[in-house]
Structure 1
Amino acid sequence: MQIPAVRLYLASTALAAVGQNVLLTVLFKQVFDLTGDELDIGLIGLAQFIPALLLVLVSGWVADRFDRRRVTGLFLAGRGLAAGALILFTVSESTEVWQLFAIAFALGTADAMLAPARRSVAPFLAPKELFPSVIALWTATFTASAIIGPIMGGFIYSVGASWAYVLAAALQFGAIIPMILLRYHRTPERITERPTWASAVEGLHFVRRTPVVLATISLDLFAVLFGGAIALIPAVAEERLGVGDIGYGWLRAAPGIGAAGMALWLARRPLTRRVGPTLLIVVAIFGFGHIVFGLTRSYAVAFIALVVVAAADMISMNIRGAIVPLVTPDEQLGRVNAVEGVFIGASNELGAFESGVAARAFGLPAAIAGGGFITMGIAATFAFVFPSLRRIDTFTELRPPDADADPAPVG
């Protein structure tokens, strides 16, 4: 925290993440209030995911070719404009839900271009030996925002959705300033050649031929794809728990509380041993929490289950956030982060779509609890299919495949 670039990066993260959490909290609730259909929540998630899939090769190349700070600032402005479109939709009192799907697609486009560039800034803010601490601070900031944003969104939505979108837009534009002002500790290497198909797909090739990276990000993909209860919180709050907008806002904040508490614990006592086995265990705990959340009708039990789910996910995110940059060469980091972004987007936005479809087909309890059982099975399967992941003990043993190190930890 004594490094100015780290403070600016965290400030930008906090502003952007609070704004995004306010926006999504209100957007999911607004679409459900308009239609009363869980599937529409899922379609919002699908609309956000499709751009990440379509732009995976472009976004990674842009992050590796241009100044990542400026790319991040440009698409933070894109997020702000999407929030502005939601303001216009709300004040017009339109009930045409397809317009919300179109805006969600635009928001997903900004996110798809923003994410690889922003994540690829972090490894260059401080000396390499401090990078795990930077990740811990970033995750703590990000998850604290996941508490503040939903609570604010729930309260402001009870006054008027347009005011929530005004706040979200202001925060996205405000996040641009610290990102542009930060200075690197070491300058990232950039690709300089003209764009080619081979250069664009290099990130995909790297992930495919590096088992520990493939295992780490695909585990997150499948776990959250089937454990997508967060998107269904509006329906659970109304249909199973019987709470209003403020109760919904606090329930939406429960994952942030669990994640922030765990992030603070990891910042004080970072994980140093048994990294791989810990990742597999916390994914299984993540699945069990979904089973509890899906079956309960108690607000308190549901709240605690979401806290536990998010705490487990925070450990997983912390491990993944350190493994991928440590194993990836600097000049490929943007392209690999773009591929990872599709996996993460698939697990979140596509997971929201899967949850909405399953809820409509089988009902809320079966959709959520069933996804939890599948997630626990996935963790057990990965333990056997990817022994290189299971055998990781410490972060210090991880190196890019071409580094002068024992290649065993990276497969």
Structure 2
Amino acid sequence: MAETISAKQLLRTRSVSPFLLASVASTIATMIQITALGKQLYDMTGRDLDLGLLGLAEFAPAFLLMTVTGSFADRYDRRHIASIGLGVEVIATGMLAFYIATKPTATLPIFVIVIVFGIGRAFVSPATRSMPADIAPDGGLPRLIAFHVACWQASAIIGPVLAGFLFVVSPSWPFIACMILTAAGAVLIQFARPRPDRIAPGNSLAGAQDASVIELGDEMRPAEMLDVLGEQNAEHIAHESLTPTAASGVATKKKRTFHEAFEGFRVIRRNPALLGAISL
């Protein structure tokens, strides 16, 4: 197991700071939009049901596209996937800013635009969640995950506060701020370059190596998996999920097929205890 590094050493790593800044910017932007849009919609209709439908419109795409978005995050450069998804969010937010500025009375266009935003978000989330393992230095993954969670929590608090101040000035200002922050996140994420020994073009996990010789270190396996399954079983599952037979040739040059998107379900079915570990 690699020796844990200090926080100062971690933050000095080239890709870590851009990644954390991108995460903060995009999360604050999302929280600003959720808060301001909820206020705007409630002012328009006065119905609590519309707030629930708004949440459904934003998060339903992530549920419906989860097999596709996860597969994309594993196949292609996660930085590019995240930037494209954030770009879609910028466009959707710009449409909201323009529509809100017209003092609308119809809510249907808002729901349609929010669905577009949700589609972009559906691709951003799996790509960014997987990036810490790609960019963390040896021994730095646990601390990087802690920093990432702390940044998310702080952003989740700051975002709604900013939304309130901006909304008082003008209903469209929160969406303009959201556009700027999201665009900044799309640019910053490109500087979060993965380590060459952990990722190669076209292969997000194994590069050109044979997956059968890859051994995941303790820091690459969640603590919950180690606690629930035990060291030996967790190591077996991590190894199995990367072998050509289990992951349809992740580290080979074979043509990938649609069933790859559902491989995670098959791994869980073969290892039911893993579902319990994930649930924790």
Give the TM-score of the pair, scaled to structure 2: 0.73
Residues 37-96 of structure 1 deviation map (CA, whole Å, 9 limit, x = unaligned): 111111011112221122122111111111111111111111111110111110111111
After superposition, give the CA deviation of every residue in 1:157-194 in whole Å (9 maximum; x if it has no partner). Answer: 11212011000011101112221122223333444543
Unmatched tracts of structure 1, length 5 or more = 220-411
Is the partner of 2:104 in helix, strand or coil? coil
Structure holding more helix per residue: 1
Kindly tell me: are residues 167 and 129 of structure 1, through their superposed partners in 2, closer, same or farther at Cα, counting changes over 3 Å? Answer: same
2 CA distance for matches of 1:9 and 1:23?
Answer: 21
Cα distance change, pair 194–92 in 1 and its aligned pair in 2 (3 A)? farther
- Counterpart of 1:22 (choices 20, 27, 32) is 32
Q: 1:26 to 1:143 in 2, by over 3 A?
A: same
* Code of the aligned partner of 1:206: V
Per-residue deviation at 1:139? 0.8
The alignment partner of 1:127 has SS state of: coil
Measure how far apart 1:218 and its partner are. 4.2
What is the aligned partner in structure 2 of residue 49 from structure 1? 59
Q: How far apart, CA to CA, are the structure 2 residues paired with 1:10 and 1:33?
A: 35
The 1:215/1:98 distance shift into structure 2, 3 A limit, reads farther
Q: Distance in 1 between matches of 2:26 and 2:35?
A: 14
Shift of 1:128: 4.9
- 1:402 aligns to what? none
Structure 2 CA distance for partners of 1:178 and 1:215, relative to 1, 3 Å: same
Provide the residue aligned with 1:92 in structure 2: 102
The AA in structure 1 aligned to 2:125 is A
The TM-score normalised by the length of structure 1 is: 0.51
Partner of residue 261 from structure 2, selected from 161, 178, 200: 200
User: Any conservation in 1 of the 2:135–2:194 contact (CA below 8 Å)?
Assistant: yes
1:120 corresponds to 2:120: no
> Mean Cα displacement is larger for which, 121-130 or 163-172?
121-130
Percent identity, please. Answer: 33
Q: Does 1:137 align with 2:147?
A: yes
Alignment match, 2:198: 187
Are 1:168 and 2:178 counterparts? yes
Residue 198 of structure 2 aligns with an amino acid whose one-letter code is T
1:100/1:210 CA distance change after superposition, 3 Å? farther
Query: Structure 2 matches for 1:6-405, cutoff 5 A?
Result: 6-185=16-195, 186-188=197-199, 189-190=203-204, 191=250, 192-218=253-279
1:84 to 1:193, Cα distance in 2 relative to 1, 3 A: farther
CA distance in 2, matches of 1:160, 1:213: 49
**Partner letter of residue 125 of structure 1?**
I
CA drift at 1:207? 3.4
- Alpha-carbon distance change, 212 to 25 in structure 1, aligned in 2, over 3 angstroms: farther
Equivalent residue letter for 1:124? D
Letter matched to residue 44 of structure 1: L
Tell me which residue corresponds to 1:2: 12
Cα deviation 1:234-278 (Å, max 9, x = unaligned): xxxxxxxxxxxxxxxxxxxxxxxxxxxxxxxxxxxxxxxxxxxxx
Q: CA RMSD in A?
A: 1.7
Counterpart CA distance in 1 for 2:25 and 2:275 is 31
* Cα distance in 2, alignment partners of residues 36 and 111 from structure 1: 27
**Maintained 8 Å contact 2:13/2:137:** no
The residue that corresponds to 1:320 in the other structure is none
Counterparts of 1:9 and 1:124, CA distance in 2: 11
Counterpart of 2:140 in 1: which secondary structure? helix
Amino acid aligned to 2:48 = E
| Deviation of 1:137 (Å) | 0.3
- 1:99 Cα deviation from its structure 2 partner: 1.3
Give every structure 1 segment of 4 or more consecutive aligned residues whose post-TM-superposition deviation is greater than 4 Å.
216-219
